[in-house]
């Protein structure tokens, strides 16, 4: 990407989009195009058409989506399927119509079958049934991957799909019901500390294993892949390292400074026992994460305190 190229970051106020925006600014890109969802509702086909015709971006990072944790995904099933399909259909099609040089579509690790072998390799896509709770979201993301591939096959568009693992970082969502596990733990431990609560109870046994990537590392990977990767199908982005929810909770407890007890409510469901990305394809291209988990949680906690307290 030339430094003067016009680059549209869809979803630039979100955790991922804002990290990509910061990364591009730090690399010296000056011609960045952004719109909030109230300025441009990407579900609106005509509005997206008018925007692309007027702006004609050279490159697109598609980081706008309806995103949430397990409860949100399961509760708003229609919204997650409809809104994500609408956003990606409109943006990907207009990128084709207006001759965008390259587009990156962001998916998620939930596209893989629930019982796929671990670690998750890119070729496991569509080899089994999805996790029921986030099936609508995953179906939308799989459609996005296939749409990019179809425009590449039929119209020779350079549209690529990347699948990040669980993310956390600046501008994360700390909503009490709709957030992902790591920001939810940060909020829970912080509130217990300030309220003097003697105990924090975590749902499940604490034994499931999960992988986490700092969003600024993801943005570095996206930037790297935008320069170095031009293939159909998909590529995983993660650390290739995981830990138990119990160890994660202990880390968040340490970072937030909560001094009470930590207990696990094993009567609540655990979810998938393990979800780890195979990142050998990404590593073979020469990219590796830089921010380790404890350091990243410190940075995320500072951001939480600055914005939510
Ligand atoms: N968070 C994770 O752990 C994670 C993991 C893997 C993959 N991802 C992927 O990364 C991408 C971004 O996720 P995120 O965590 O950054 O989400 P986020 O913080 O919730 O941000 C989503 C962004 O999408 C924009 N948006 C939503 N609906 C829109 C609409 N109708 N029109 C225009 N813009 C709209 C929002 O814009 P406004 O702020 O202007 O309203 C917001 O900035 C998603 O594709 C997601 O699947 C995230």
Q: What is the pLDDT of residues 116-127, one digit of tens each?
A: 999 999 999 999
Tell me, in angstroms, the distance from the centre of ligand 1 to residue 84's CA: 10
The verdict on whether residue 166 carries a ligand-binding annotation is yes
Does the C-beta of 163 come closer than 6 Å to ligand 1?
no
Ligand 1 atom closest to the Cα of residue 137 is 47
Tell me, in angstroms, the distance from the centre of ligand 1 to residue 16's CA: 7
- 135 pLDDT higher than 90: yes
What domain range includes position 92? Answer: 7-171+211-240+276-291
124 located within any domain: yes
Does the C-beta of 266 come closer than 6 Å to ligand 1?
no
Tell me, in angstroms, the distance from the centre of ligand 1 to residue 66's CA: 6
156 located within any domain: yes
Q: How far is CA 303 from CA 17, 43, 171, 183, 294, in A?
A: 16, 30, 7, 11, 14
Q: What contacts 144, CB < 8 A, 6 or more positions away? A: 62, 84, 88, 92, 105, 107, 161
Ligand 1 atom closest to the Cα of residue 110 is 6
User: Whose CA is closest to atom 22 on ligand 1?
Assistant: 14
**Total domain count, the chain:** 1
Q: Which of 137, 174, 223, 229 is catalytic?
A: 137
The verdict on whether residue 240 carries a ligand-binding annotation is no
41 located within any domain: yes
- The rounded mean pLDDT for the chain is 96
Backbone conformation region of residue 288, classed left if phi is above 0, alpha if psi is from -120 to 50, else beta: beta
Q: Is 137 a catalytic residue?
A: yes
96 located within any domain: yes
Q: Give the Cα separation of 123 and 2 in Å (integer).
A: 32
User: Whose CA is closest to atom 27 on ligand 1?
Assistant: 65
Position 68 confidence tier, pLDDT thresholds 50, 70, 90: confident
Tell me, in angstroms, the distance from the centre of ligand 1 to residue 64's CA: 4
Would you state the structure tokens that stand for residue 182, as one six-digit string? 């790591």
Q: Give the Cα separation of 81 and 78 in Å (integer).
A: 5
248 located within any domain: no
- CATH number, domain at 141? 3.40.50.720
Q: What contacts 194, CB < 8 A, 6 or more positions away? A: none
The residue to mutate among 48, 61, 64, 172, having the most atoms of ligand 1 within 8 angstroms of its beta carbon, is 64
Q: What is the pLDDT of residue 294?
A: 97
Q: What is the pLDDT of residue 206?
A: 96
Q: Give the Cα separation of 212 and 206 in Å (integer).
A: 16
The verdict on whether residue 106 carries a ligand-binding annotation is yes
The verdict on whether residue 108 carries a ligand-binding annotation is yes
User: Whose CA is closest to atom 3 on ligand 1?
Assistant: 167
Position 72 confidence tier, pLDDT thresholds 50, 70, 90: confident
Position 191 confidence tier, pLDDT thresholds 50, 70, 90: very high
Give percent helix, percent strand, percent coil of the chain, each to the nearest 5: 45, 15, 40
Q: Give the Cα separation of 187 and 237 in Å (integer).
A: 26
Q: Which helix (H) or strand (E) holds 265?
A: strand 261-265
257 located within any domain: no
- Mean pLDDT over 251-277 rounds to 92
71 located within any domain: yes
The verdict on whether residue 270 carries a ligand-binding annotation is yes
250 located within any domain: no
């Amino acid at each position: 990407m030339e430094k003067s190229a016009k680059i549209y970051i869809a979803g630039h106020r979100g955790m991922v989009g804002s990290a990509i925006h910061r990364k591009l600014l730090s690399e010296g890109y000056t011609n960045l195009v952004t719109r909030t969802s109230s300025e441009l509702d990407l579900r609106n086909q005509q509005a997206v058409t008018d925007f692309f015709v007027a702006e004609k971006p050279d490159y697109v990072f598609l980081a706008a989506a309806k995103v949430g944790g397990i409860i949100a995904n399961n509760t708003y099933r229609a919204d997650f399927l409809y809104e994500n399909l609408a956003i990606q259909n409109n943006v990907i099609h207009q990128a084709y119509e207006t001759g965008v040089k390259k587009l990156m579509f962001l998916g998620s690790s939930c596209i893989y079958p629930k019982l796929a072998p671990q670690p998750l390799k890119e070729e496991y896509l569509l080899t089994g049934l999805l996790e029921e709770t986030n099936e609508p979201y995953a179906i939308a993301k799989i459609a996005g991957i296939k749409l990019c591939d179809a425009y590449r096959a039929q119209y020779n568009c350079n549209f690529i799909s990347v699948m990040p693992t669980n993310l956390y970082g600046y501008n994360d969502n700390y909503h009490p019901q709709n957030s992902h596990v790591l920001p939810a733990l940060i909020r829970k431990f912080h509130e217990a500390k300030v309220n003097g609560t003697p105990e924090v109870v975590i749902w499940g046994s604490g034994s499931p294993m999960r992988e986490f990537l700092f969003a600024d590392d993801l943005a570095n990977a996206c930037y790297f892949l935008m320069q170095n990767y031009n293939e159909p199908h998909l590529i995983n982005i993660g650390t290739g390292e995981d830990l138990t929810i119990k160890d994660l909770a202990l880390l968040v407890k340490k970072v937030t400074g909560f001094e009470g007890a930590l207990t696990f409510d094993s009567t609540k469901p655990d979810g998938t026992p393990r979800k780890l990305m195979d990142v050998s394809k990404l590593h073979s291209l020469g990219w590796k994460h830089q921010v380790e988990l404890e350091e990243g949680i410190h940075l995320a906690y500072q951001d939480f305190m600055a914005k939510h307290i």
